[in-house]
Structure 1
Amino acid sequence: MYSSTFKIRKASKQDATLIFDFIYQLAVYEKMESDVKTSPEELTKALFENQYAQVLIAEEETKPVGFALYFFNFSTFLGRPGLYLEDLFVDPAYRGKGYGKALLIELSRIAKSKNCGRMEWSVLKWNTPSIEFYKSLGAKEMEEWSVYRLEEDELKSLAQLG
């Protein structure tokens, strides 16, 4: 598994630039770097002032090698919270060492401690390595569900109706 010098810690305000760098690296991997509109300053406000989401940082010795950004949602059917994993990324040089699995294990522990009924995330359909990894952990594809999105312009238009 992972080395004895590996640890997972909660991110702090000082990690905003690091988190931004991980987000950008993930966007490059997903071929979506042009979609990154945020900044370390915006992340500081969103994550550490408004606390809209939380972040775990994975470190090998003292070098950050990955992160997980998550927040809580709510299942009306279960009547319980859920943990939504927005982003999971491990530096390519450190993949295959169990660090992604360790982050997911820590997230599942957090979910259980908060009485969550489930943990969910999205994955791009072409990302076969990640899909296979998630399936190996027991994750199930929600084939009957489709993701829908209103982006900024559509949100503005809809908010102005009525």
Structure 2
Amino acid sequence: MAKISFRKATRDDVALILYFIKELAAYEHLLDAVEATEAGLEQSLFDQEAAEVIFVEYNEEAVGFALFFQNYSTFVGGAGIYLEDLYVLDAYRGKGLGKMLLQQVAKIAVARHCGRFEWACLNWNEPSIAFYKHMGAVPMSDWTVYRITGQALQTLSEG
């Protein structure tokens, strides 16, 4: 029987975190958009503590990860958890590991008294959408995500 466990990432896991980020990006057809580096991840995740990572291990091998951070809702009047990335290697899908990872982050949200647990999903990703809906997630069709990056962000910051 397979041994399944979870562990929080440490500074020694930076290369592994970047590996999973790139695997997820390749799955999403966005590998060319990855700008993350090991040095940048080490600084943001372990020096600044901007986000957290947990791994799911199958027979003591990391086969998936979740990267998340705490946010705040003025409507709820309290903290929430935003799941930035959830990914399980293709060879390990169908074993319930994605659901278990989602449950681990949900446990963290509940333990921290968070009023929300949210994430985004690409519109074309029907397998993930079906999975999330099966878990009880509801798409927020009334909201559109907006993003400012690069030169537009620089211009905005300069007034």
Q: Measure the CA separation in 1 of the matches of 2:46 and 2:66.
A: 15
Q: TM-score, normalised by structure 2?
A: 0.98
- Equivalent residue letter for 1:9: R
Is 1:91 matched with 2:89?
yes
What RMSD, in angstroms, separates the aligned Cα atoms of the two structures?
0.8
Q: Which residue is 2:145 aligned to?
A: 147
Q: Percent identity?
A: 45
Query: What do residues 55-113 of structure 1 show as CA deviations (whole Å, max 9, x unaligned)?
Result: 00111112110000000100101101010000000000000101000011111110001
1:41 is displaced (CA, Å) by 1.3
The correspondence of residues 2-81 of structure 1 with structure 2, limited to 5 A, is 4-81=2-79
Structure 2 segments unaligned to the other structure (5+ residues): none
Q: TM-score, normalised by structure 1?
A: 0.96
Q: Measure the CA separation in 2 of the matches of 1:92 and 1:137.
A: 20
Q: Which residue is 2:104 aligned to?
A: 106
1:152 is displaced (CA, Å) by 2.2
The correspondence of residues 119-130 of structure 1 with structure 2, limited to 5 A, is 119-130=117-128
Question: Matched residue pairs, number?
Answer: 159
1:4 is displaced (CA, Å) by 4.9
